[in-house]
Amino acid sequence: MFTDLKTALRPALVMTLLFALLLGLIYPLALTGIGQALFPFQANGSVIRQNGRPVGSALIGQNFSEDRYFHPRPSAAGKGYDGLASSGSNLGPTAKALAERVATDVKALHSPGRPVPSDLVTTSASGLDPDISPDAAFFQVERVAKARRLNADQVRALVQGSIRKPLLGFLGEARVNVLEINQRLDDIGAHPTRP
């Protein structure tokens, strides 16, 4: 009986070790190697650098609140833009707290004769969306131009040149990466006003 048990266990143990080696070591190392070889920027977190120093990721939103920068959409992740607490607010469309927050944000952004783009007052599902719609970027042009003492047409052209089209022309939506456009603003050498 002991030999029957030994005979039955041996293939199970060999297969367990083989699959642990294959799926726990060889497969992950192969995919990591392929990712590093073919897509190094994405495989390393899509880190954006300025003067050799990391300033953020193209995939994770961060807060810009000064008038001289384009603002992202609001964040419900932790206390705002907390990568360790990525999530939406879980407030439904009829939640009083959500309606009050959105109304306050709309009032703060109000510009006569111009509707406030919804993504400037609503959070994304992750709370860390790095992009805004082209409408949201164009909505902010006047404020950014004034704060940086730039011609509004120059800032509008910067927005136009920063729009990423949907993948293959139909997957996703047109968008503007907030960190990247703010970097471009800093690169053009504008002289921002400081408080």
CA neighbor of 126 nearest in space, from 60, 64, 48: 60
pTM summary value: 0.77
User: Exposed, middle or buried, 48 (CB in 10 Å: 0-12/13-18/19+)?
Assistant: middle
44-76 tens-digit pLDDT: 888 988 888 998 888 888 989 899 999 999 888
pLDDT at 137 over 50: yes
Sequence letter at residue 99: A
User: Exposed, middle or buried, 183 (CB in 10 Å: 0-12/13-18/19+)?
Assistant: middle
Q: Could you tell me the pLDDT band of residue 194, with boundaries at 50, 70 and 90?
A: very low
The Cα 64–Cα 90 span in angstroms is: 24
Q: Could you tell me the pLDDT band of residue 128, with boundaries at 50, 70 and 90?
A: confident
Comparing 51 with 87, the larger pLDDT belongs to 51
Domain positions in the chain are: 1-44, 45-187
Comparing 30 with 113, the larger pLDDT belongs to 30
pLDDT of residue 23: 95
Three-state secondary-structure class, residue 165: coil
